[in-house]
């Protein structure tokens, strides 16, 4: 076991009860942290107005029922607005932010330079003059989002399971027009504040890692160790949903859920503590787990 003074974490958004795929990812995050001597932390990502405190409590209870332990009281992003404001103010003072009045439709319909990466922000508001910004503010009648003025178009991170991964870095949003910190900024800031240096999550989020690692570098923080684990899909190869049957812990039951997670990882153990004895990142599956209820 490699000792570390850092921490791993799991950071659910309390918009719905955790399904078996979320629970499996949480178990893997815990195994990665504990096997490397790290602390394990829990963070409730509740900045979105589609999240609910009662769901957060159920999520934490489900994770504890599986046997997961965390080393500090779970934190909630809504407890730290000043943390994000301070970082946004600092980026603004460095000239690294600009106001953006674009809607998603504006961005999708904007003309792009030849060979521009798919999905990249086209730079519509990047170089507006003061007069142009004021006119856009009057025309739209809404406050602008704040975007990072990136000086790269791509960035490479190293992932324990995927190796080197190079992905898009554009002028991404750091604060939405409604004043809410964007996902990419809030996660980076929270991880740094909590001493998180290991990020384990679903591999659908691998493409966001270059933006986050680049931002961490701009803020003077070390990049975390990344491990993006395969998702759990239904029989049709789509993300799990309620229509797929018994997918939450309340529906499956703790012993059966632990058995299913262990089997999906190739473990004989039936508790997370015993799984820790079998844990080896090199032996983890690299393909999605196709979940069959029951």
Residue numbers in the known binding site for ATP are 242
Distance, in Å, from the CA atom of 114 to the CA atom of 151, rounded to the nearest integer, reads 19
Sign of CA dihedral 151, 154, 156, 160: positive
Q: Which of 73, 72, 6 is nearest to 38 (CA)?
A: 6
User: Hey, is 53 helix, strand or coil?
Assistant: helix
CA dihedral of residues 233, 238, 240, 244 (deg, nearest 10) = -100
Both tokens assigned to 150 = 């990136």
Both tokens assigned to 238 = 């789509």
Contacts of 201 (CB under 8 A, 6+ apart): 11, 25, 29, 228, 229
Distance, in Å, from the CA atom of 162 to the CA atom of 154, rounded to the nearest integer, reads 17
Q: Tokens 């032996």 correspond to what residue?
A: 283
Binding-site positions for Zn(2+): 100, 102, 121, 125
Binding-site positions for L-glutamate: 9-13, 45, 183, 201
Binding-site positions: 9-13, 45, 100, 102, 121, 125, 183, 201, 242
Contacts of 49 (CB under 8 A, 6+ apart): none
Distance, in Å, from the CA atom of 37 to the CA atom of 1, rounded to the nearest integer, reads 7
Q: Which of 9, 66, 57, 68 is nearest to 33 (CA)?
A: 9
Diameter of the chain measured on Cα atoms: 66
């Amino acid at each position: 076991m490699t000792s570390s003074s850092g921490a791993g974490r799991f950071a659910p958004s309390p918009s719905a009860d955790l399904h078996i795929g979320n629970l499996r990812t949480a178990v893997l995050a815990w195994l990665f942290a504990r096997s490397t001597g790290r602390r394990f932390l829990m963070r409730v990502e509740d900045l979105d107005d589609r999240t609910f405190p009662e769901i957060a409590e159920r999520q934490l209870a489900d994770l504890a029922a599986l046997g997961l332990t965390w080393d500090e009281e779970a934190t909630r992003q809504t407890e730290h607005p000043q943390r994000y404001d301070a970082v946004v103010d600092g980026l603004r003072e460095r000239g690294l932010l600009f106001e953006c009045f674009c809607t998603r439709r504006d961005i999708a319909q904007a003309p792009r330079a030849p060979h521009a990466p798919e999905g990249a922000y086209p730079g519509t508001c990047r170089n507006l003059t003061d007069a142009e910004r004021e006119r856009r503010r009057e025309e739209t009648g809404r406050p602008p989002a704040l975007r990072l003025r990136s000086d790269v178009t791509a960035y490479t991170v190293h992932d324990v399971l995927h190796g080197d991964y190079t992905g898009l870095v554009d002028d991404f949003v750091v604060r939405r027009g409604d004043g809410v910190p964007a996902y990419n900024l809030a996660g980076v800031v929270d991880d740094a504040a909590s001493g998180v240096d290991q990020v384990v999550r679903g591999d659908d989020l691998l493409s966001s890692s270059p933006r986050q690692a680049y931002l961490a570098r701009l803020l003077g923080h070390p990049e975390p160790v990344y491990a993006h684990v395969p998702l759990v899909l239904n029989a049709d190869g789509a993300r799990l949903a309620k229509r797929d049957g018994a997918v939450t812990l309340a529906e499956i039951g703790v012993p059966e859920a632990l058995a299913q997670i262990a089997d999906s990882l190739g473990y004989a153990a039936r508790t997370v503590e015993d799984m820790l004895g079998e844990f080896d990142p090199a032996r983890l599956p690299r393909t999605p787990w196709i979940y069959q209820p029951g």
